[in-house]
Copies of this chain bind each other. A is one copy, B any other.
Amino acid sequence: MKTVEILVEALPYIKRFHGKKILIKYGGHAMIQEEAMDSTARDTVLLKYVGMEPIVVHGGGPEISRAMNKMGKEPKFIEGLRVTDEETMEIVKMVLVGKINTSIVSKICFHGGKGIGLSGKDSQLLLAKKKAPHIIKDEKTGEELEIDLGLVGEIESVNPEILEMLTSNGYIPIISPIGIDKNAETLNLNADTVAGEVAAKVGAEKLILLTDVPGILEDPNDPDTLIEKINISELDDLIKEGIIKGGMLPKALTCIQAIRDGVSSAHIIDGRIKHSLLLEIFTKKGIGTMITK
């Protein structure tokens, strides 16, 4: 009896998001832990079946480093950015496209969804260009040094044609954050940024980032300081005040940009909580942080 009452309570959400595109970034725990990924995949299929159009983007940093270690190659980072030489790029592709993406596709299909794996190379979905060199300051001399990060790219344009065709024909696209430049060179992209830019390009209703934290916290060490709802100008202020920092900073910037580009709301939620995706969509309170215009 409870069961159906809850179904009925979900109706307003189902109606509101009917036919709307929902861009979901799989990250952290939700992607590494087998059972969590299975559960997230099933939730994604549910969204499709009740009439929404989920599109998945996934990351994969830790897996890449693990694979590199296994292959006897040491991962190298400069100020948190992965230096990507050709050999590393090869490993990145293998792990993201060959391993993680295919796993997600398997799980989506297993739960009855028509999952299709894509990378930014497919039909030039993500046209990118090499990033400008990274500038670091020599702590001692104060000199600025240009560091070439190698095959790291930034998106120049998203080609939504293939996504439109797939979603309107009942498929769920799963995208690896790999770009291609004009000379067919492969480039490593930031998964959050890819999610944000794709969300904007396809006119998504929601951008949902699954992470390993409860959301945006005023004090990163105190989960009780979770910000449940914030608009982009308030969020901007928090950034300027230096309250948002570390790994949360690029995520916050991605959300702000996506909303400026027309996405209705962005959500940073805790992928470690079971069914966090559904909790965010189908309950009034939601979980994590909701960012709006």
A contact set with B: CB distance below 8 Å: 1-11, 14-15, 18, 42-43, 45-46, 49-51, 67, 70-72, 90, 93-99, 101-102, 105-107, 109-112, 114-119, 121-124, 162, 165, 169, 171, 178, 180, 183-184, 186, 274-275, 278-279, 282-283
A15 contacts across to B, CB distance below 8 A:
49, 112
**Nearest 4 A-B pairs (CB), nearest first?**
A98-B98, A94-B98, A110-B184, A94-B94
A232 to B51, CA, bound (A): 35
Alpha-carbon distance A212/B7, docked complex (angstroms): 24
**Chain B proximity of A146: nearest CB distance (Å):** 28
How far is B44's CA from A11's CA once the two chains are assembled, in angstroms?
11
Interface SS, A side:
helix
What copy number does this chain have within its complex?
A: 6
* Known contacts A11-B45, A169-B165, A275-B8; A115/B106 CB under 8 A: no
Inter-subunit contact A46/B7 (CB<8 Å): yes
B98 lies within 8 A of A121 (CB): no
A-B contact pairs, 8 of them (CB 8 A): A3-B9, A4-B283, A7-B46, A7-B282, A49-B51, A50-B50, A97-B101, A97-B117
Contacts of A283 in B (CB 8 A): 3-4
Task: Pick from B72, B171, B180: contact of A109, CB below 8 A.
Answer: B180
Which residues of B lie under 8 Å from residue A115 when comparing CB positions? 121-123
Question: A119 contacts B90, CB within 8 Å?
Answer: no
Q: Point out the residues of chain B lying under 8 angstroms from A71, CB to CB.
A: 70-71
With a cutoff of 8 Å between Cβ atoms, the chain B residues found around residue A4 in the complex are: 43, 275, 278-279, 282-283
Query: Which residues of chain B are near A186, meaning CB under 8 Å?
Result: 102, 106
Q: Once the chains bind, are A50 and B14 in contact (CB under 8 Å)?
A: yes
Q: Is the CB of B3 within 8 A of A184?
A: no
Q: Select which of B6, B98, B119, B171 is within 8 A of A123 by beta carbon.
A: B171
How far does the alpha carbon of A282 sit from the alpha carbon of B2 in the complex, in Å?
Answer: 11
Option from B11, B178, B282 in Cβ contact (under 8 Å) with A42? B11
List residues of chain B with CB within 8 A of the CB of A171.
123, 162
